Amino acid sequence: MKETINLHDYAKGKDLNPDYSFMVTKEQVDLAEAMVRSRRFAGLNLSDYCNVLDKEVEKQFAAMIFSLPELDYHQLVFRGTDIVSLDGRRIFS
């Protein structure tokens, strides 16, 4: 995602019914749905999404920017490689 999108606008008309896995949990989806229903996050914009999954070198990385323009607030949110590899083996032990 290179463009900026508003969380509420993006979610309109979408039915979140993903296949749950260790990468997408029910708790994460429940949180996203609660944010979409909340007036508190009505102005939340998402931008600059990046997602890299490389099983060969066991690398996971994702990031995006959350912005609240009315507060001139921007936050970089990211995740990286877990201690469990993409195929379920423990790494960094």
pTM higher than 0.85 for the full model?
no
Domain parsing of the chain, residue ranges:
5-79
Euclidean distance between CA atoms 14 and 20, whole angstroms: 17
Residue range 10-68, pLDDT digits in tens: 888 877 778 888 778 889 889 888 999 999 888 999 999 998 888 787 778 889 999 99
Contact 79, 61 (CB under 8 A): yes
Q: How many CA atoms lie within 13 A of 24 on its CB side?
A: 7
pLDDT at 68: 92
